[in-house]
Structure 1
């Protein structure tokens, strides 16, 4: 019995490791393709496929081949994905044949997608530019005469649209009618949670999504909504756990590392935050947000020199970004290096002059160098831009 349990554990562990390896390859390949380096992305994914035969790797390579315009290679990859995970490549195949102007074959694969567990929402299909070449064809019009979506699905889609456009009261009315007709299935509960999230009712969102996740623990959209609600309700500890669930479930989205790192910073878990940021920066080496956050985490950890390294690197890569100057200025400010802080705050204000907090901090730095008249000028600018804290300095330092 013990041997059987060990074997089961090893099989499960191997699956987790293999899945995580695939995710790492996909995230790095995405970074290459986003930078326009499609050949490197394809090379990396091909290397991965020599080791791991996973449908997501084929689908990702197919997407890159589509971007390159190599439709034959993309069709081959989506077909391989289908062999490994049934129907996983159907939507991709539909898109490619649509791009080729082959309406009949595109709609054949789209129908297979709509009948599968990978079924796309109507809104996503209608907004997909890949279908542009066939959307005026008789086959396309005939295809959409059939009711592919239920009445409840259409109403939920309408609720989601209203929420996205800020029409919350209309969404609530639609939800009430929907519940009267269909009760409260998972999709309706999710729609209710989306309304509550937009309304700022975060405890209700947490309650609903936690219930949904208890039944379906790896549902990406449920987990993302829960993390959003936890973050918005100032629960970074809870949000970090939810982001860990998303990452652990194999979602190939490097931004989750940034989001979890932000949570770890708020909970004072600076080592964990830096581990996530180092992994992200290994994938996106010059990312402004990640470099900025890494500097702030090092500042919070008490390593101001390391923080300055990150902020200076960010400025070297993004010399025209006001926030990069502000980040480094704040670091100089914290270490009482007033002249350096003044210089960087000045550069930041040259690029973004309507920042009241920067005017205030520059004024404080000037005050500490004995330049009272210049400091008072900055305090008044800060106050005129809406920073009420500046009034304390004006009354104390500038009114004699």
Structure 2
């Protein structure tokens, strides 16, 4: 602790702290406090602007502005007595710290940019919960952007977020425009791509192989004796993971079911919800009545199909077996329960958060590729 710290933290009425003879006592240089004071103006007060400043808190607490700033940014460097006084004064005055000034001084924004294809999709919500669970306690906030499965829009979002100087990026997907890849690599900001594996990641990578996961569930259906599989899901342009799942389905069917037709039902840009699952069921049975196992790209679609099958008197799996993808909580409570692929949705967020936190706080410089794997979960529907 510096001399100024000891002077500022001394209790009123207490003994004067000892100063080494010949040592000149000078004011501490606190960039965050100086920047905030400059931004606020030397005479900016609550009376004139209705805005509480750091100086107002300092006067209320009877300490220096530098001590207030230090109490906010590095409380471990301030005595318990002074810290309590400052916090009481912050509460009493309603002061909100000027994080922009503090971040400018430290060259850290304490933010992480998050790019997902669809904010309404529960699989991505699970990952965001895991990400926030790790980064929130460390003081980081998430900036969320939805790409809408459009690579060009993803590029626009990356450019916009970089202008706000995030400390890290969490991105769903590994396929980007050439410009997006260049922007992220040149930024030198830690990046974690997720939900897929690739041989050429931008930086760190956390996910699983969508290709291998679909192959595994088709192999499971083949082993159970089904012979006429149909794949159903949303295969819109820009959803590269869905394209890999479709390709894996077609390749595996051609290998395991020689001579069998390749059956694919596409919901297009329809929402990922139960109603779309219901529509996909009717479409599959209308276009491909010989189907004996309907393999959905999402548990949400599969759940809608199972509920609709029950209303229509279609026996599952007697008349038609159904599989899903994701292993959402709902899968365990359907009747029949849903056979599906278990993907590590929440774990993707927590592991990515840990990697970002290590890089952003300089505890590690390691660039890592983490394959979290998947599992086929056999239940009653197939």
The normalised TM-score by structure 1 is 0.25
Tell me which protein shows more strand as a share of its residues: 2
- Which structure is larger by alpha-carbon Rg, 1 or 2? 2
Tell me which protein shows more helix as a share of its residues: 1
